[in-house]
Structure 1
C-alpha cells in the first residue's frame, strides 16, 4: 500500500475578495512530477479524492485538495460572496500560497467549472485538465435552475437530495446522506445563480475547447446522452465513460475512475516549470 507519509492536513487562513477564510486542506508537498490540484463538486468534499493516497500509480505525486468555501470543514466569514469567480480566486490564492506554478487539475461538477475559469484566465499554468462531469452547457444546470425559483433554494436542494435515495442514479443515496453536512445553506443561492449565469451566458463549452492543455472529459454511463459529447470528441477532448456510474463515479466506480485518470496523466509528459 502506498505510504501516506508527508501528507499534511491543515486549516489555511486566507483573505479572498475581502472575505476571511480558513480553508481545510490536505497536501502532499514532495513529488517527482508537477502537483495535482483536486477540486470537489457541490455537495461533496476533499475526501472524495483521498483514495489518491492508496493508488500505486500516484505514489510520490504531490497534490493539493481542499474544501471549497461553503463546503466541508472550510470556514467562510461571508457565505453570500461564494460564487464561481470567488471559488476560482480561492483556488488561485491557495496555489500561490503553496508556491505552485504549473499543475495538473482534476475537477468534479462545480469544481470542474472552477478549474475551467482558472484555466481560461491562466492557461499557461495548467498542464492537463480532467473534467469529471463538469458544467459546460445549460443542460447541466437543471437542479440549480429549479432551486432558484424557490424561496429557500438550499431547502429545495436538500429535499431533492433526500428523494434521490430512491432514484436509480448510481451514488444517489450516499450523496443524499452526505449533502446536509457538506453544504453550507447560506452559500447555495449565490453559488447557484452564478452557476446558471455561467452555463447560460459564459460560453463554457468554447472556453473548454480552446484550452491548450490536454483535456479529458470523464462521465458515468448514465450521462452518456449529454448533447455536447460528440463536439468534445471532434475537438480533441479525450472522452472516458465510466461503467456502472452516473455523475458520481468516485462513489459508484472509483477503481475505473482512478484508472482512467492515472492512464491519462501517464500520457502527459510535459515537465513542470515549478515544483513545491
Structure 2
C-alpha cells in the first residue's frame, strides 16, 4: 500500500494504516472493526489517497478502495474541526474524478460509483463525546424542507479515558495501541520536551505497544512526530491569528455601522427641519436613494 518518492510528510496514523509494510493488515483490521466483518488479507485493497492536498504538506488522511467502498479515514490530534463534512465533500469529489473517466458522466446508462464512508479519529485534549456524527447539512444557512445534499462523518474519540463506548478500539488492536502510543507521547513530551518523543518510543517498546513497528521505524516515527508537532503548532497560531482578525474586523464593522447610523439620524433631523433632499445629501454624504427611504 506504499507510495514511493512522496514530497509530503505522513502522520504516524497514516503510515500505520496506509503506507507501512503492514498497512494493509492494519487497515483491514480497522475496516473489520468498523463494519463487523471479517475480510482477510486476500481481499483487494487499493490506496487511492490524493497526493498533497492537506494543510502544510502534512497528511493525516487515509483513502482506500475496498469491498466496493471508498473508505476515508482522518485523524485529529488537536481540536475537532466541525467543517470536516465540507472538507470531505470536496475531497470525495476529487476522488471520483480520479476514479472515473471523463466520459462516464455523459453516458445514458447510470455509471455506478463506489459507496463513500467517512470517519475521523479524535485524540486531542479537549473534552469530546465518545462518538458523534457531523453532518454537512448542519452548515446550511437555511434549513430546507428536504435535505438536497448530505454527507455524514462519524467521529470516534480514541483517547484512553474515552474508549469505554468506542468498541472499535477493542476490536482493532492497531488502533488501540496507536491510541496508547499517542497518550504516552503526550505524557513524555510534557515531562521532557526535548527528549519526549524518544522516551515515549522506548517506553512503548518496553510495554509492547506497537513494539514491532516502533523497533523497525523509530527514526522515521520521530521525524513524523516532529512534523505533526509543527503542524499542530502552526494550526494553533493560525486559529489565534484568525480570532484576532475577526475581532478587529468586528470592531471595524461596528464603527462603520455606527458612523452610517449617525448619518441616517442627521439626515432625518435635517428632513424634519425642511431641508431639501439635495442639501441633505451634500451634508451627510448619503445618496438620494438612501435619503428617499428614510
TM-score tier after normalising by the smaller chain length: 0.3 to 0.5
Of the two structures, which has the highest relative contact order with CA contacts closer than 8 Å and spacing of 6 or more?
1
Q: TM-score, normalised by structure 1?
A: 0.33
Q: Which of the two has higher C-alpha Rg? A: 2
